[in-house]
Structure 1
């Protein structure tokens, strides 16, 4: 008895019946979703350009750096990095691995007050530039 794999069966069906997929016009929901994604990217790009051109992006980056130092977050991350290197051995740790291991902890430990201040500044900037 010959065993037929499902992949060879599909290939045979494709050969007999022609194309595997049928070209059909997109449904209205797909058109709306595509348009929304394009518009969203355009808005996002526009906001990013305004942030960069105005210098506000750099100001916000500096604000976040300062707040993370003030609250001790930067020191916590240094300690976490040192502990990981000590545990694994200095020669057995790459920068990429260190980033991969520490990033989730770092993101989770950013104080809510820093996130809220950043969000508030971003919202105020967007409103003030009438985007």
Structure 2
């Protein structure tokens, strides 16, 4: 990522935070992930890791390391597309970026 891209990301993130849109997007994401069963799938994955390694042998950091890539891969494309569209619409409405 070059300096210009980094500056643009920072400006977009700042605008998302300032307007409250970032919280709205996070809440939408939470809702969609629950609706599609993603949360339940991740919970089952965590239980499986604990079952395989034993409760006394697993740390939160271990779970995060194992589950994060799986969690990202399990997010449905429809949810990703919806969030991307919402971000694009938000950016199109902003004149100061």
TM-score by length of 1: 0.71
Displacement of 1:61 after TM fit? 0.4
Structure label with greater radius of gyration: 1
- Whether 2:45 is the aligned partner of 1:83: answer no
Which is helix-richer, 1 or 2? Answer: 2
Number of residue pairs the alignment of both structures matches = 96
- 1:46 counterpart residue number: 11
Stretches (4+) displaced over 4 A: none
Alignment of 1:20-99 (within 5 A): 37-99=2-64
- Whether 2:93 is the aligned partner of 1:106: answer no
Unaligned runs of 5+ in 2: none
TM-score by length of 2: 0.95
RMSD: 1.1
Provide the C-alpha distance between the structure 2 equivalents of 1:38 and 1:101, rounded to a whole number of angstroms. 32
Specify the SS of the correspondent of 1:101.
helix
